[in-house]
Amino acid sequence: MFQAMVDGHHDHDKKAQMTSTQSHEASRASRKAASITGASTLRKAIIALSALTLAGASLSSCSLPAATTSQSEANTAPSDAPPSTSQSGSGDERATPIPKAPAPSREKLMAATLEVPPVCEEFGLRTEATATFVNGVAKSPVDNHAKITLSDVVQTEFDGTPVALALFTCDGGGAYAYNSLGVYDSDMKLVGRLEPWGENPDAPGYRMFTGEIHDFTMTNLSARGNTLTFQVPAIKALGDQTFHAAPSSYAANATLEWKDGQFVERSIVYDTPDGRKVVPDRQVMQIFYDAISSGKEASIRDMADPKVIEFLDQPFADPNNPQTVRQSLYPAGATVDSCVLYPGGNDTGFVAPRNRPGVAIEVGWVQSSAQPGDFLCGITPGEQQRGALKPWDKGYQAWFVVNSPADGKPFVRQQVFLIR
């Protein structure tokens, strides 16, 4: 029995030992598994960290999305970002700019019905009407010989808006034809014009050019942005005969600017037999006049031939007038009104028109010193402004004959005055 108890005790110890051993082995197994699991997790973490590092490097030059903000913070936090212009709802898309409507092409204008510049319309169509162009020609509905021809088209942008500049030849059906310029937008609407010919003082460019121009023509038309350049050939002045078929010795080179919906003069330079000339600056000529009127000609002696200064205190040519030239012709307050190219028709001096028998010009050295390329600057009494009157108009009491080189200042060669 005792042996049985001993054996039972031994069995119990053996079982306990086995249980302890199993428990120890289970613990070792658990630690091993934990170690394996930990190593695996560490390896995964290292791999994930490596991937994140590589991804971060590749994204370092890109914009990352902002951190998540709560709805209340999103509603109250200020934003410096500009408002989205996308219509699709995607914040990454940008609005596509609307393309500008192009200026009409030459082909479209050549087959269009257009409002043409009114001076051209009156002369070329002989009536008030729109011009219907067929192959670039619009015929008058009332005159079989009159017509308007589309001669040239130049495209540019005025103040960023595409426009077409259409050059028309306005033919009245006779010996004369003139050029007018129309400005057309993308809808072929007339939005501007230039018509420096005719007798309409409201026409843009009216009397912009000087000299005798029988057929006003614009050549070498060019535009860049708001700037327009062209040449006006066939201008007659001193040295030329004045009949229509006679050759011309002068031309004008014009640069205009589109400003506030109209053309304004920037510069006009004349090619003359004596070189390139410009119309004398009226303000400079007024300074000259005021100096000789007030007896202060010492300040402007370099602007005039010495004979002009000496002549001021000579008796006036009319024996019935006891005053000097200065007293009679240059009273205080008179105005240098405008300057024009010295007219042609006679190489030795000024020729009064036949239809103005009451006008005569003083003869002698005063006229004989005029040279081709010179200008006449008319003087009107008082503050009256007469505009660019013809040189023989009775509104002028006297003229300065001026040489005005494009690269220098005006120089008064002589003075011309009326004997009434």
pLDDT band at 170 (very low <50, low <70, confident <90, very high): very high
Residue 14 lies in a domain: no
Choosing from 273, 303, 331, the residue where a domain stops is 273
- CA 203, CA 172: separation in Å to the nearest integer? 18
| H runs (alpha helix) in 312-406 | 325-329, 365-368
Give the model confidence (pLDDT) of 86-95 as tens digits.
344 444 556 7
332 and 412 co-located in one domain: yes
* Confidence at residue 326, expressed as pLDDT on a 0 to 100 scale: 87
* Confidence at residue 345, expressed as pLDDT on a 0 to 100 scale: 74
Residue 243 scores a pLDDT above 60:
yes
Total domains present in the chain: 2
* Confidence at residue 322, expressed as pLDDT on a 0 to 100 scale: 78
| C-alpha distances out from residue 390 to 39, 207, 249, 343, Å | 109, 10, 20, 10
Considering only 38-47, 210-219, 236-245, which range has the smallest mean pLDDT?
A: 38-47
315 and 380 co-located in one domain: yes
- CA 197, CA 217: separation in Å to the nearest integer? 10
Choosing from 273, 297, 331, the residue where a domain stops is 273
Residues 140, 171: contact at Cβ < 8 Å? no
* Confidence at residue 346, expressed as pLDDT on a 0 to 100 scale: 55
259 and 137 co-located in one domain: yes
- CA 231, CA 267: separation in Å to the nearest integer? 12
339 and 393 co-located in one domain: yes
* Confidence at residue 306, expressed as pLDDT on a 0 to 100 scale: 92
Give the model confidence (pLDDT) of 200-231 as tens digits.
889 999 989 999 999 999 999 999 999 999 99
250 and 306 co-located in one domain: no
Instruction: Please give the average per-residue pLDDT across 288-316, as a whole number.
Output: 91
- CA 22, CA 400: separation in Å to the nearest integer? 134
Instruction: Please give the average per-residue pLDDT across 14-41, as a whole number.
Output: 42
Give the model confidence (pLDDT) of 98-120 as tens digits.
888 999 999 999 999 999 999 99
Instruction: Please give the average per-residue pLDDT across 251-258, as a whole number.
Output: 98
Give the model confidence (pLDDT) of 115-152 as tens digits.
999 999 999 999 988 999 999 999 999 999 999 999 99
Residue 154 lies in a domain: yes
403 and 318 co-located in one domain: yes
- CA 291, CA 189: separation in Å to the nearest integer? 51
Instruction: Please give the average per-residue pLDDT across 178-184, as a whole number.
Output: 98
Tokens (6 digits) for 379: 């003087």
295 and 179 co-located in one domain: no
pLDDT band at 184 (very low <50, low <70, confident <90, very high): very high
**Between the ranges 6-20, 83-97, 367-381, where is the mean pLDDT highest?**
367-381
341 and 391 co-located in one domain: yes
CA-angle at 301, arms to 238 and 410, nearest 5°: 35
198 and 251 co-located in one domain: yes
Residue 46 lies in a domain: no
Residue 291 lies in a domain: yes
- CA 384, CA 337: separation in Å to the nearest integer? 8
Q: Which CB contacts under 8 angstroms, 24+ apart, belong to 137-145?
A: 138/114, 140/173, 143/172, 143/173, 144/173, 145/171, 145/173, 145/174
Which helix (H) or strand (E) covers residue 166, if one does? strand 161-171
Higher pLDDT, 360 or 180: 180
Which helix (H) or strand (E) covers residue 251, if one does? strand 250-259
Residue 9 lies in a domain: no
* Confidence at residue 333, expressed as pLDDT on a 0 to 100 scale: 86
Residue 32 lies in a domain: no
Choosing from 249, 273, 297, the residue where a domain stops is 273
Residue 241 lies in a domain: yes
Share of the chain above pLDDT 70, in %: 66
Residue ranges making up the domain that contains 343: 282-417
- CA 216, CA 169: separation in Å to the nearest integer? 10
260 and 324 co-located in one domain: no
* Confidence at residue 382, expressed as pLDDT on a 0 to 100 scale: 57
243 and 315 co-located in one domain: no
265 and 293 co-located in one domain: no
Residue 53 lies in a domain: no
